[in-house]
Amino acid sequence: MGVAAKIAPSMLSSDFANLASEAQRMLDCGADWLHMDIMDGYNLNYCLLHKPFILNYCKLVILFVLSLLLKVVGLSLSEFCVLYVILELSWMVLLFENVVVILFLHFVPNLTIGAPVIESLRKHTKAYLDCHLMVTNPLDYVEPLGKAGASGFTFHVEVSRDNWGELVQRIKSKGMRPGVSLKPGTPIEEVYPLVEGENPVEMVLVMTVEPGFGGQKFMPETMDKVRALRKKYPSLDIEVDGGLGPSTIDMAASAGANCIVAGSSVFGAPDSAQVISLLRKSVEEVQKNN
């Protein structure tokens, strides 16, 4: 195939209180890369609004809706008054001191590390830091992660359909290796233009679980995507992430994956070096037979 086996323990499963020593332990156990999961979580955004205007506008809307109900459903006057009070109070709960609190859902619900942690870890290791960004706006992270010392920058196609060309260019300009990832429900065809473009990505990460949390069960149906990628791009680095371990590695390796991310199965094992060796051996055996 022309692609080397690369084992990347997911530091999300490590002891964050001892991140530097955990990173060195993984390298001593034979790891090629260190996989860093960067997630944006939920975010509260505060929008300043003119309270009297908003309240008066809402009163008009509420009165209009209730008047329709009064006419169509036949509400009594007492029922009308009760509903009006409930609806108005419900809206006013969100308004205090001219501030409206709006909850924006980001790419994944979990919140992990960012550029400051990458920068701190870089001071203790020369290892390849394989950064997987599960974030809504990956462009915002390119410069901080470049300065922090990230090696690879893998973004999700789901949030980059309109600006992936600019994103890849910026990633490369900061000295990082670009990669693209896709969720289990995203068609594999969506990443083809990114691999075949004038300024292509250099790795495709196929998520074998839903992104956001470690320790999930491997989804074997995602292997069809890996097989399609390997058939189409024999020399491409294809990474898999989620539920990889001794019981699932053969499926991933035989499908064509050569970059293996493993978290719980490595960090939770009595002998992490043995698990890393097993993962590598499975990939190399497939490549040898092909």
Which of 28, 32, 37, 237 is an active site residue? 37
CA-to-CA distance for 89 and 55, rounded, in angstroms?
11
Classify each residue of 110-139 as buried b or exposed e, where b means 16 or more C-beta atoms within 10 Å of its C-beta. bebbbbebbeebbeebebbbbbbbbbbebe
SS3 (DSSP) at 179: strand
Q: Rounded to 5 degrees, what angle do the CA atoms 23, 182, 10 make?
A: 10
- Torsion sign (Cα): 239, 241, 243, 245: positive
SS3 (DSSP) at 261: strand
Q: What number of other Cβ atoms are within 10 A of residue 4's Cβ?
A: 13
Question: Residue 216: which of 239, 187, 237, 245 has the closest Cα?
Answer: 245
Which of 224, 237, 241, 250 is an active site residue? 241
37 counts as catalytic: yes
140 counts as catalytic: no
CA distances from 70 to 57, 64, 74, 76, 89 (A): 20, 10, 5, 7, 19
Classify each residue of 193-222 as buried b or exposed e, where b means 16 or more C-beta atoms within 10 Å of its C-beta. ebbeeeeebbbbbbbbbebbebebebbeeb
Question: Residue 231: which of 150, 290, 171 has the closest Cα?
Answer: 290
- Catalytic positions are 37, 241
